[in-house]
Amino acid sequence: MSAATTPRSTRHQLSPARRAKNLVMGGLIVLATAIVVAPLILIFAYLIREGLGAMNLDFFTKVPAPEGETGGGLANAILGSIEMLAMASILGVLVGVSGGIFLAEYPRHPLMPSIRMISDVLAGIPAIVMGLVAYGLIVLQFGFSGLAGAVALGFLMIPIVVRTTEEVLKLVPQTVREAGLALGLPKWLVTLRIVLPAAAGGIVTGVMLALARVAGEAAPLLFTAFGNSQINLDPTKPMSALPLEIYRGATSAYDENQRLAKAGALLLITLIFLTSLLARRASRRK
Amino acid sequence: MSKRTASPRQLSSGSDRVFEGLILALAAVIVLVFVLSVYQLGTESWPALQKFGLNFFTSRVWNPVTGEFGAAAMIAGTLVTSLAALAISVPLAIASALFVAEYAPKWLANPVGYLIELLAAVPSVVYGLWALFVIAPILGRWQTNYFTSPENLQTLTRCTELWNSNQTSLECFFVPSSAAGRGLALAIIILTVMILPYTASVARDVIRLVPQDQREAMYALGATKWEVISRAILPYARAGIMGGVILALGRALGETLAVAMVIGDSQDILKSIWGNASTMASVISNQFGDAQEALHRSSVVTLGLSLFFLSVVVNYVARLIIARLTPKGIQ
């Protein structure tokens, strides 16, 4: 060990082996990070190259052309996605925010630990399984419908909204609640009029993240909303959605369907990225 | 809910109780969803479970024509794809977490961290589309080259004979069996990419939680950066990283459409890593819609039920590990 014998005044010298190992590992870490990030950039670049050309007025206003013919768009899927996501949000926000309030504001309630655990467990259930559940609950009785698809998506949103709502509510200082109670307000008014408004920004962020997450799900819609080649706004009838059309188009043998699928994927991924970017911005400002 | 009666808050207890009841009722919907899921999947899979019993999980025959259903092939497919994807993605994910938390300057760390999080936001179908249109042709070209080059002829003949008699060997397991590009290997590749962000973001958060003292103490001993990472940071963070790994495993087990689009949907015994295969989730998405026979349908739902319980267990374990980690001398 030469380092031990050198005089104190000289700078500490690394042995070449340690220096080399340090450099090599650092290089590997940078390389691995590049490998991790590369697919995202490659996917985005590919979709822009292949999909941007197909994003014309027809894409937003027409329905897919019959198989084998050219032209058409994904208006049925865009409208279907918007409608089903809106319906899913009603379920997801109502139950999710209430669940979050329950977990954060009633921490000593005997049911609190079990509800939190079940909510956490639900977050991990594969989306396709939720599709099977919604199929059994709704489709078996009423047939394929946009409503069934929205219920499946809503089930998937619930645990995400619960978790973010709970976390945001816990960030509201206890003193704010005490100030409200000291004014003689009942607990429910304190929760609704003071705590919730204070946490509103964070809850909206959570809902947006949940929406971004389920907007791209096709698996739970396969056996519920089923898809529809025409524009349909009636929630009791089969309905199309962007991820469904992407799935069908990408696995189709026709160039035209594949082209629409790529344009649809570009639209979907752009909307999802923008949503999560906005949500992130909003949560950072706090 | 204190039982004290003299508390001034009890003055408005009437409206409070109504509100609490309302919130509890809505929160109970969460429990209802869970219970309904178990009930629904349970009753629908009952006929298959009753007919095949535990054989359902051990039999390798999945034949809708003869009405025989055993899930061993897709259970194997699910485990092989998930574990292989995990094995490739974990080192990459930890490395990227180290880059973001330890190496990169702040101006670079934030955008890179954000890009990694966006990977989790890309929908499954988009991954599937990309794998199908971009990676599959690349693999296909390599496979065609392999088939057309003369020096591989002997190996190919040998393996084809083995495969035809429903067998395989270690060598043949890595020999391509078709030139389509699609198959188990492509499913593993795309799963690897898809689960990277789950491990990476948990690992990054845990690495940031490692106390600064830990690093400084190691540097004070004259350690290099890598020595600090490998001996002070990673050992401290390993429990948390493990939680992230199990979370990613849960994702991989249930991943459906990207896998279903590229894996080739074959319920035969796995003979080559390049061959067609299926996972439990891919069979649900590929066959549930077409299943006409009640028993076929019930068998597919049984796969869903198994997946349900598998992900409940995996996620529960992951949460336990992450909860345990709460920074306190981790040994």
Cα–Cα distance list, B54 to A191, B15, B47, B48 (Å):
51, 53, 13, 10
pTM: 0.91
Chain A environment of B95 (Cβ under 8 Å)? 28-29, 32-33, 36
Token readout for B260 is: 């279903």
What is the predicted ipTM? Answer: 0.91
For residues B19 and A187, the answer to whether their CB atoms sit within 8 Å is: yes
Cβ distance A269 to B24 less than 8 Å, yes or no, reads: no
Q: Which of A14, A128, A186 sits opposite B285 (nearest CB)?
A: A128
pLDDT tens for each residue of B223-263? 999 999 999 999 988 888 998 999 899 999 999 999 999 99
Query: In the A/B pair of chains, how many CB contacts fall below 8 A?
Result: 271
- CATH assignment at residue B262: 1.10.3720.10
Residue B163 predicted with pLDDT over 90: no
Residue B180 predicted with pLDDT over 70: yes
For residues A55 and A221, the answer to whether their CB atoms sit within 8 Å is: no
Helix (H, G, I), strand (E, B) or coil at A39: helix
Cα–Cα distance list, B136 to A48, A72, B93, B263, B274 (Å):
19, 27, 24, 11, 11
User: Does B290 contact chain A (CB < 8 Å)?
Assistant: no
Cβ distance A219 to B285 less than 8 Å, yes or no, reads: yes
Which of residues A226 and B177 earns the better pLDDT score? A226
Residue A66 predicted with pLDDT over 70: yes
- Of B138, B136, B127, B63, nearest to B296 by C-alpha is B63
For residue B16, which amino acid is it?
D
In a domain, B9, yes or no: no
pLDDT tens for each residue of A67-121? 778 888 899 999 999 999 999 999 999 999 999 999 999 999 999 999 999 998 8
Please report which confidence band the pLDDT of residue B11 belongs to, taking 50, 70 and 90 as the band edges.
Answer: low
Rounded to whole angstroms, how far apart are CA atoms B30 and A162? 9
- Of A161, A141, A140, nearest to A91 by C-alpha is A161
Cβ distance A115 to B289 less than 8 Å, yes or no, reads: no
The answer for A 65-84 residues in CB contact with B (under 8 A) is none
User: Does B30 contact chain A (CB < 8 Å)?
Assistant: yes
pLDDT tens for each residue of B267-311? 888 888 899 999 999 999 999 988 888 999 999 999 999 999 999
Domain residue limits at B22:
14-325
In a domain, B227, yes or no: yes
Residue B266: CB atoms within 10 A of its CB come to 16
Chain B environment of A35 (Cβ under 8 Å)? 92
pLDDT tens for each residue of A10-37? 456 788 999 999 999 999 999 999 999 9
What pLDDT is recorded for position B258?
95
Q: How far is CA B97 from the centre of its chain?
A: 19
What pLDDT is recorded for position A1?
42
Q: Which of A29, A91, A208, A281 to mutate to test the interface with B (most CBs of B within 10 A)?
A: A29
For residues A266 and A48, the answer to whether their CB atoms sit within 8 Å is: yes
User: CATH code for A57-285?
Assistant: 1.10.3720.10
* Range list of H helices, chain A: 2-5, 16-51, 57-61, 75-105, 112-123, 127-134, 140-142, 146-171, 174-182, 187-189, 196-215, 242-250, 255-285
pLDDT tens for each residue of A197-208? 999 989 998 999
In a domain, B57, yes or no: yes
What pLDDT is recorded for position B6?
46
Cα–Cα distance list, A152 to A123, A125, A223, A285, B222 (Å):
13, 12, 10, 32, 56
| CA atoms in the 13 A half-sphere facing the CB of A179 | 8
Q: Which residue of A has its CA nearest to B199?
A: A36
pLDDT tens for each residue of A111-154? 999 999 999 889 989 999 999 999 999 999 999 999 999 999 99
In a domain, B1, yes or no: no
Q: Which of B15, B20, B33, B227 to mutate to test the interface with A (most CBs of A within 10 A)?
A: B33
- Total number of domains constituting chain B: 1
The answer for A 139-178 residues in CB contact with B (under 8 A) is 155, 158-159, 162
Sign of CA dihedral A129, A130, A132, A136: positive
Q: Interhelix angle for B280-287 vs A127-134, to 10°?
A: 40
For residue A277, which amino acid is it?
L
pLDDT tens for each residue of B23-73? 999 999 999 999 999 999 999 999 999 999 999 999 988 988 898 999 999
Rounded to whole angstroms, how far apart are CA atoms B16 and A281? 36
User: Does B54 contact chain A (CB < 8 Å)?
Assistant: no
- Of B259, B210, B264, nearest to B239 by C-alpha is B210
Can you spell out the DSSP letters for B140-205? HHHHHHHHHSGGGHHHHHHHHHHHHTT---HHHHTS---SSS-SHHHHHHHHHHHHHHHHHHHHHH
What pLDDT is recorded for position B3?
47
